[in-house]
Every structure is written in C-alpha cells, then in structure tokens.
Amino acid sequence: MTVHHPQTPQFFLTSPSACPYLPGRAERKVFTHLVGDRAPGLLDLLSQGGFRRSQNIAYRPACERCRACVSVRILVDEFEPARSMRRILSKNSDLVARMAAPSPTSEQYSLFRRYIDHRHATGGMAEMSVLDYAMMVEDSQVDTRLIEYRVKGPDSRFTQSSDGELLAVALSDVMADGMSMVYSFFEPSQDQRSLGTFMILDHIERTKKLGLNYLYLGYWVEGSKKMAYKIRFQPQEHLTPKGWERYSG
C-alpha cells in the first residue's frame, strides 16, 4: 500500500483537449495544487522542471506523442536589446510602470476584455467574467506582483494620482532564481507601441534589479506564430531532456 505524506504534492492528469497552438493535435496537462506555506518553494522546484502557474495550480504539458512545448527562460545578465528593441523602449518612454500587490480593478478588466475580444476572441479565456478575472489576479499562494503601465502624467515622478491612461498590465511571480511572467495584456489599438515586447524588456530590467538570474517566459512552440516572438530575446535557455541548455537556433 502506498502512503502519501500530508505534505507531499499529488499530481493529476487532465483529459485530452484541442491544442491551442498546433491545429489537429490534442493536449494533456499534469498539474498539482499550490497551497499553504510550502507553495513558494514548491513553485520554485517545479519551475525548474518546466511547470507554469495559473491561480493556485502548477501545470505543464504531458502530451502522449508531442513534445512541441518547450520551456524558455532569458539569461537577463547577458541580455542586450537589439536595435529594434531599443526603438520600442524609446517609443514607450512616455509610460510609467507601477508594481504592487495583485489587486484587480474594473479599469484593468475593461482593458483585459478589449485585449481578449480583439486578439483571442475564440480562445479559452473569451468567456471570462469580471469575477473570473479577479480570481486570476488574486488567487495566488506565492509572491505575485501586478504591474500597471500608464501614460505619464505631469507629476508622475512624485504621485501616482497624476498617472494617465492604463495601456498594459502584467501579472508576474517572483521566485528564488527569477521572475515569471504569468499573464499580460495591453491596449490592442496601440499596436505601434509593441507593448508585449516592451513589457518583456521592462521585466528583464526588473529581474536584474532584484538580483535574479532568469526571466521565465513560459512555453515556446516551434511552428506556432503565437509563440514566435519569444525567440527574439537572446541569450536564452530551453528545457531539454538533459536539463536547461542554451538555445542557439
């Protein structure tokens, strides 16, 4: 008879469902719950094995015949922005970023809905209500931060009350060896700003300032247009059967 210690995490396997990245394929995930005082340490350990967090769940792909999803992390101390990335930083020099505890607002949800309706109207998050959004933000047992990106007001250096329009939001975890971008969204009418890239660049700098080594970007899927942007941030490591290895593609 197998006896489970009460502090030992139990893992579960989902039923097959349509793959959101590669047409005609099915996906399965293995997952466990992140609860209690041990949740931060468990997330640190599982992240080394390619797990991601969603609310109080840690998960990773466990597809039977496919290994297309590859965990990616940026080596922040070695990162140097390309010329195109420096232009994006310049375009967004009129923004101010505020990092705080994860607290949902109606303004965030309105931006979230515009983003989802414009970019992912047929995706799994299309039906998320304001309550679902609040749970996504607040339901965390680890060190989670919410970063708002707003147009600078005349007194943004001194007071948040003068900050202008909300253009982007990132929900991120701080772990023992790095930051992990859990979910981010932005104003879809501001394509010229490349806000998705800008938030990753901002997170690279935040990770450096925290004295941490890696920025975890989740999964890269070769052949998926949705994931192609992640390869632009070099140098980076990919999780392989031999462990984390520098990617040189």
Please count the other Cβ atoms lying within 10 Å of the Cβ belonging to residue 112.
22
Locate tokens 């984390």: which residue?
Answer: 244
- Report residue 197 as tokens: 């890239």
pLDDT band at 235 (very low <50, low <70, confident <90, very high): very high
Region 106-123: mean pLDDT is 90
136 phi and psi angles, rounded to 5 deg: -60, -40
Q: Are 205 and 232 in contact (CB under 8 A)?
A: no
Residue 5 has pLDDT above 70, yes or no: no
What is residue 158's predicted lDDT score, i.e. its pLDDT?
Answer: 58
What is residue 61's predicted lDDT score, i.e. its pLDDT?
Answer: 95
Residue 222 has pLDDT above 50, yes or no: yes
What is residue 9's predicted lDDT score, i.e. its pLDDT?
Answer: 87
Place domain 73-246 in its CATH homologous superfamily.
Gcn5-related N-acetyltransferase (GNAT) (3.40.630.30)
192 phi and psi angles, rounded to 5 deg: -65, -20
Which residues partner with 91 through β-bridges? Answer: none
What is residue 3's predicted lDDT score, i.e. its pLDDT?
Answer: 44
> For residue range 95-105, what is the model confidence (pLDDT) as tens digits?
999 999 999 99
With b meaning 16 or more CB within 10 Å and e meaning fewer, what string describes 163-176? beebbbbbbbbbbe
| 201: enclosing H helix or E strand | helix 195-209
| Residue at 194: amino acid letter | S
What is residue 248's predicted lDDT score, i.e. its pLDDT?
Answer: 76
Q: Are 180 and 47 in contact (CB under 8 A)?
A: yes
pLDDT band at 89 (very low <50, low <70, confident <90, very high): very high
pLDDT more than 70, % of the chain:
92
Q: How far is CA 134 from CA 111, 137, 168, 181, 187, in A?
A: 13, 5, 16, 17, 19
Region 37-41: mean pLDDT is 95
DSSP string, 107-158: HHHHHHHHHHHHH-TTSTTTT--HHHHHHHHH--SS-EEEEEEEE--TTTTT
Greatest CA span in the chain, whole angstroms?
Answer: 68
CA quadruple 112, 117, 123, 125: dihedral, nearest 10: 30
Secondary structure tally for the chain: helices H, strands E: 5, 14
| Residue at 51: amino acid letter | F
Which residues partner with 17 through β-bridges? Answer: 27
Number of residues that make up the chain? 249
Q: How far is CA 213 from CA 77, 209, 221, in A?
A: 7, 10, 23
Mark residue 211 as left, alpha or beta (left: phi above 0; alpha: psi -120 to 50; beta: remaining): left
Residue 160 has pLDDT above 90, yes or no: no
Q: Domain limits of the chain?
A: 12-68, 73-246
